[in-house]
Structure 1
Amino acid sequence: MTDMKEKAATTTAGPTTRKPKKTLNPIWYVVAGAILIAALTYIVPPFRNYQLATVGAYFTVTAGLTVLTGLNGQLSLGHGALMATGAYSFALAQNRWLSMPLSFVAALITTVLAGVVIGLAAARLRGPYLAGLTLAVAVVVPSVTSTFDKTFNSDMGLSVALDPPPGVIPMEQWQAWICWAGALVTVFLLATLVRGRFGRDLRAVRDDETAARLAGINIARTQVLAFVVSAACAGLSGALFAFLAQSVSPGAFPLTLSLFLVMAIVIGGLGRLFGALLGAVLLVALPALAQTAGERTGSQHLEGNLALVIFGVVLVVVMLAAPGGLASIRIIPRRKR
């Protein structure tokens, strides 16, 4: 009788359901990251603080690009041009108003408007046609600075007027704080977006547009919003680079920058914000490695091309060893159940 009761109870209860894994709120990652960065800025020397700030500026754009390409499937080869748009907007606004908050807002508004225009066109294109459109943007934007040389000072660029850091804070440490504040706020907002309905819509459109349309998702609106969000991230990143360099010129945003950004998010791991962080680290580490190798050989020509070669080799090796990118590598293997 006891065995029959136990079987009946098991049958009534039905199959056991797995509880969904609980994930930490993104705010905790942001807080931990802020504490870690603040601690590092007091430990490392000034040049490393500058490199740390550069990683934060790159992280801002790679995070937005990995959402656009990894989660929504739109390939952009023109994010370097969007960074240039944000950088020039920041420089013009800062030289006029000498107010960093207003200058950052101006850079965001300008790149959001540019993102709307490009996104509306991109929503009608697919595959290589979309890549061609964004590539054309990357080629056209630098030529604008030469056309309107009275405003943008042509190839010489613009210097950026900045107030000194508050108190006795070293300039490099102040730059690291500002760049990582922008990066962490950006990542928190992106993580919050992709965890909700917007993220589900992005993945649905990427996986199957027909099924997403039948599910009631507006394909064009989702793609435009994805491009606008990513463009805003690129604009903020460009403004941070203008703040870092205290100047802006067309040479700072070449076509190769857009290619490096795409390779960085692929190597780091498409669709993962942690992969975007790894890609940002590579964008600083690999060119520094190429510069060191070029200085040892004494060849400036080699130094200028070695970074692209190193990126290509790393891309091939990572795709062979870990097709999902560096973020997909697990140090501790999963336990078999």
Structure 2
Amino acid sequence: MSGRVTSLRGIPRVLVGGAALTLLAVGGTFLLDPYRNFQLATIAAYFCATAGLTVLIGRSGQLSLGHAALMAAGGYGYALTANAMTSAGAAGIPRFAVSLLAAIAVAGVVGWMLGLAGARLRGPYLAGVTLALVIAVPAVASVFSGVLRGDQGVQIAYDGVPPMLERLIALEQWQAWVAILVAGFVVTALVVLTTGPAGLRMRAVRDDETAARLNGVRPGRVKVGGFTASSLAAGAGGAVLCFVTQSVSPGAYTLAFSLLLVVAVVLGGLGSIGGAAIGSALIVLLPWVLGVAADALPLPAEVAQRLSGNLSILVFGLLLIVVTLLRPGGLASLGRQLRWRRSDAGVRHPEPPREPASPEPAPERETAPPPTQRKR
């Protein structure tokens, strides 16, 4: 069986690998307590957004500073649809599935509109448009407060564990399962997209638009497609985060959080799906580790108050500088380097052929002197 899996190539190998990693992560939830499962669910939600962002920046070469707004669009789309279906009498998995599809559709439409602008803008102009979008999230929530409930956000109905699993797992573990399954599907779809012809066209447009156009590639269409795919992933992440926290509010999708997503992608490695997973884990676990360490140290009250909320930002800034200087390829490049070293160590290089020894000259035979002629 293992030989068949290793012999797979292309899309079948991606699908089998994605399913195996998803099942492995689901099985790992049995080893974690409820709070760790909640953290794992949050990491999976962020992973959807960072995976889409690393494809957008690393593969298509478009910079977005407003991916938090796309997550907010997905979160609000999920919450409003879930509440509408609750009023209609739907519940459980059907309500979640329909609400998830609605969230992805809402984020995809917003991303498609941004992609149309991105096809005509470059560099800082595109970053400025996305930055304005994430800044406008609180204003939009307050203007449409009748629907979006302003700063308070939208609460959704309690979505517990299915009855058949109530005796087996807790609520946090069920939420982790859902988040992992959604992240596995979204990330696998992104990998299939980037390893196929669409990914090749993205890289061609990123490297040289003129050369890509001469080879029959339409840069505008490729940019719109890349932005839309990234937005769909961000919308799925926002929906999962709303499912886990049971609410959505503009305070959770600030400019600082949007920039933190970009930092996570850069730290992990631009264009690397594995790097996106590393960055997602960092932005969830690092503030928690720093908070535990700060509480364990005997610090004065004033110092502890100043460090709370600012220490993680300082550490992220230092990490960004160090990784950019020492590892421009991100933390994911460390794993690739280790694999290369192991492969080099495991390969036995053939010994150089020995030069054939030069044959020793045969010893010269001593020729006997010619017999002397007898004198008659």
TM-score, length basis structure 1: 0.90
CA displacement, residues 264-309 of structure 1 (integer Å, 9 cap, x when unaligned)? 1111011111111111111111221233345454534421122221
SS in 1 for 2:136: helix
CA displacement, residues 87-116 of structure 1 (integer Å, 9 cap, x when unaligned)? 111111111103111111110111111011
2:64 maps to which of 76, 83, 90: 76
SS in 1 for 2:344: coil
Please say if residues 68 and 257 of structure 2, whose CA atoms lie closer than 8 Å, have aligned partners that are also in contact. yes
Q: Within 5 Å, which residues of 2 pair with 1:167-206? A: 167=163, 168=166, 169-206=169-206
Cα RMSD after superposing both structures: 1.7
Distance in 1 between residues matched to 2:231 and 2:290, nearest whole Å: 29
Distance in 2 between residues matched to 1:175 and 1:319, nearest whole Å: 35
The residue that corresponds to 2:247 in the other structure is 247
CA displacement, residues 105-146 of structure 1 (integer Å, 9 cap, x when unaligned)? 110111111011111011111111111111001101221001
Letter in 2 for 1:206: R
The residue that corresponds to 1:226 in the other structure is 226
Larger displacement relative to structure 2 (245-254 or 298-307): 298-307
Consecutive unaligned residues in structure 2, runs of 5 or more: 1-7, 87-94, 350-376
Q: Does 1:86 align with 2:74?
A: yes
Please say if residues 75 and 239 of structure 2, whose CA atoms lie closer than 8 Å, have aligned partners that are also in contact. yes
Distance in 1 between residues matched to 2:147 and 2:306, nearest whole Å: 32
Q: Does 1:151 align with 2:158?
A: no
Q: Does 1:331 align with 2:319?
A: no
- Residue correspondences, number: 317
The residue that corresponds to 1:13 in the other structure is none
Q: Does 1:37 align with 2:25?
A: yes
- Structure number with greater Rg is 2
1:51 maps to which of 1, 24, 39: 39
Q: Within 5 Å, which residues of 2 pair with 1:204-223? A: 204-223=204-223
Please say if residues 26 and 180 of structure 2, whose CA atoms lie closer than 8 Å, have aligned partners that are also in contact. no
Distance in 2 between residues matched to 1:185 and 1:114, nearest whole Å: 21
In the TM superposition, residue 204 of structure 1 has moved relative to its aligned partner by 0.3
Letter in 1 for 2:84: R
Larger displacement relative to structure 2 (283-292 or 104-113): 283-292
Please say if residues 260 and 283 of structure 2, whose CA atoms lie closer than 8 Å, have aligned partners that are also in contact. yes
Q: Within 5 Å, which residues of 2 pair with 1:264-279? A: 264-279=264-279
Please say if residues 161 and 246 of structure 1, whose CA atoms lie closer than 8 Å, have aligned partners that are also in contact. yes
How much identity, in percent, do the aligned residues show? 46
Q: Does 1:302 align with 2:311?
A: no
CA displacement, residues 65-102 of structure 1 (integer Å, 9 cap, x when unaligned)? 00000001101000001111111111111111031111
The residue that corresponds to 1:321 in the other structure is 326
TM-score, length basis structure 2: 0.81
Q: Does 1:132 align with 2:141?
A: no
Distance in 2 between residues matched to 1:214 and 1:172, nearest whole Å: 53
Distance in 2 between residues matched to 1:277 and 1:110, nearest whole Å: 24
Letter in 1 for 2:217: I
Distance in 1 between residues matched to 2:22 and 2:188, nearest whole Å: 12
SS in 2 for 1:304: coil
Runs of 4+ in 1 over 6 A off after TM superposition: none
1:26 maps to which of 4, 14, 17: 14
CA displacement, residues 196-218 of structure 1 (integer Å, 9 cap, x when unaligned)? 10000000000111100101101
Please say if residues 52 and 230 of structure 2, whose CA atoms lie closer than 8 Å, have aligned partners that are also in contact. yes
Letter in 2 for 1:58: Y
Please say if residues 293 and 303 of structure 1, whose CA atoms lie closer than 8 Å, have aligned partners that are also in contact. no
The residue that corresponds to 1:4 in the other structure is none
